[in-house]
Amino acid sequence: MTVPTAIDNDRVVLPAARLRVSDAWLFTFPTALGGTLSPRVRELWLEGREIEYAPVTVRLEGSAESQLRNFGRSESRWRHRTRRLKQKFTAMQTLALHRPFLDARNETDANLAHVLYDVLPRLQAVRVAGVEPVLVLRARATAMTQEVCRLLGVETVRTDAVVRGTRCVATSADAGFYEARLPRLLGDAELVEPWPTDTPAKVFIARRGSRALVNHGEVESLLGQRGYFTRYFEDLPMIEQWATMRNAESVVAVHGAAVANLAFAKRRPRVVELFHPGYVVDCYRQLTAAVGGAWSAVTGRLRSEDLKLVEEKRLLRACQARPIEIDVDALSRALDVVHADA
């Protein structure tokens, strides 16, 4: 294939898209706000909506330069001074590439969700345009991102230097721009290894550390009775994480980067997402809609200090890493609702 050295005008590689996000139910921890004399689960109806996405465009810029702009935050004032100075010195050097390249160094690569939402869709869009780019990563790119690229057969260059050559520019991935296209761009991607098939149809994605369930044993027991198998994605190879979501028919998951693997889902999964009540977002509700699934949510116990942080002080991320206590009755209701029309 002959690859052009420059495309001045943006080439549309994927047309405009529309995503229908269905109505959904969210179930809370029992609260006196739902019954003063007898605290009860509150059932909140979340209205559906349609989201429209502009076309995805790609262009190639000949004789372009691209550089690392964000050197990251140091853990302390002195510990990384030498490394940061070395990075800045390297950034003054120039690396010439003789193949088209896509620079991903200014996107975070420490969080899988950002790699799946921000980096890979742009890479795959460039591939749809008929160009096989070199992906430029930071010199200290995470092992996770390197493994993602290996599985997808993506050639990479790790450097903090200025890169010169034919630069590929794809539509920005800001604000979930690619989520409606993820099933095509990622779910249909060819890997360098065969897809594992020995994964459970029903999976409970648990967490350790931040957002761990206070009553994990109680939740796991309920789900075990319903045929779910517990998986900690941090213990699984990347390809098995993808395959688990690819093959799953029903998923219960604590909100986190692991849920982004729904981009590979093939069986229209029923998803129940577990949240801390002070940090509820619907990005994976939209991703579930994109893969043809159904979604519901359960929020944990709300404490007065959490309410003050979020509602009064407007510290919107203050609770995102807090432990979560889930009511099993609320979870049972969510499961019944999300499977009602299965």
DSSP state at residue 328: H
- Residue whose structure tokens are 């007898």: 38
Structure tokens given for 198: 């020995």
Domain assignment of residue 4, yes or no = no
Token readout for 42 is 């509150």
Task: List pLDDT tens digits, range 202-234.
Answer: 999 999 999 999 999 999 999 999 999 999 999
Domain shared by 213 and 289, yes or no: yes
Beta-carbon contacts of residue 334 (< 8 Å; ≥ 6 apart): 25, 27, 272, 296, 297, 298
Q: Are residues 95 and 47 in the same domain?
A: no
Does residue 99 belong to any structural domain of this protein? yes
For each of the chain's 342 residues, which pLDDT tens digit applies?
344 444 556 788 899 999 999 999 999 999 887 778 888 999 999 999 999 999 999 999 987 888 776 544 444 444 455 555 555 555 568 899 989 999 999 888 899 999 999 899 999 999 999 999 999 999 999 999 999 999 999 999 999 999 999 999 998 767 678 999 999 999 888 999 999 999 999 999 999 999 999 999 999 999 999 999 999 999 999 999 999 999 999 999 999 999 999 999 999 999 999 999 999 999 999 999 999 999 999 999 988 888 888 888 888 888 999 999 999 999 999 999 999 976
In-domain check, residue 201? yes
Straight-line distance from the first to the last Cα atom of the chain, in angstroms, rounded to the nearest whole number: 45
**Do 117 and 137 contact (CB within 8 A), yes or no?**
no
250 lies in the same domain as 226? yes
User: Do 36 and 65 fall within a single domain?
Assistant: no
> Would you state the pLDDT for residue 46?
97
pLDDT of amino acid 136 = 96
Q: Does residue 218 sit in the same domain as residue 270?
A: yes
Q: What is the CATH number for 255?
A: 3.40.50
* Residue-range definition of the domain harbouring residue 33: 19-51+195-338
* Pairwise CA distance, residues 26 & 331, whole Å: 10
Are both 66 and 40 inside the same structural domain? no
* 134-137 and 101-103 strand pairing: parallel
Same domain, 204 and 148: no
Q: How far is CA 302 from the centre of its chain?
A: 25
Q: How many domains does the chain have?
A: 2
Phi, psi (rounded to 5 degrees) for 275 = -125, 155
C-alpha closest to that of 264 among 200, 189, 201, 176: 189
**Co-location of 141 and 70 in the same domain:** yes
Which one of 137, 170, 203 terminates a domain? 170
Instruction: Tell me whether residue 115 is in a domain.
Output: yes
Last residue of a domain, one of 170, 186, 205: 170
66 shares a domain with 47: no
The Cα–Cα gap between 297 and 27 comes to 6
Q: Are residues 43 and 158 in the same domain?
A: no
pLDDT given at position 77? 47
pLDDT at 38: 86
SS3 103: strand
Compute how many other C-beta atoms are within 10 angstroms of the C-beta atom of residue 277: 22
Task: Give a yes or no: residue 110 inside a domain.
Answer: yes
Are the CB atoms for 158 and 138 separated by under 8 Å?
yes
Enter the tokens of residue 233: 């994605």
For 67-83, the DSSP string reads --------SSTTTTHHH
Task: Characterize 188-220 residue by residue with b for buried, 16 or more Cβ atoms within 10 angstroms of its Cβ, and e for exposed.
Answer: ebeeeeeeeeebbebbbbbbeeebebebbeebb
| Residue 264, in any domain of the structure | yes
Count the Cβ atoms, other than its own, within 10 Å of residue 233. 22
Q: Which of 279, 146, 145 has its CA nearest to residue 210?
A: 279
pLDDT of residue 121: 93
pLDDT of 37 = 84
Flag whether 181 is in a domain. Answer: no
Q: What is the reported pLDDT for 76?
A: 45
Determine, yes or no, domain membership for 202: yes
Residue appearing with tokens 């967490």:
207
Helix (H, G, I), strand (E, B) or coil at 43: strand
Residues 260 and 214 in one domain: yes
CA distance 264 to 247: 9
Which pLDDT score is estimated for 75? Answer: 42
Q: Are residues 25 and 70 in the same domain?
A: no
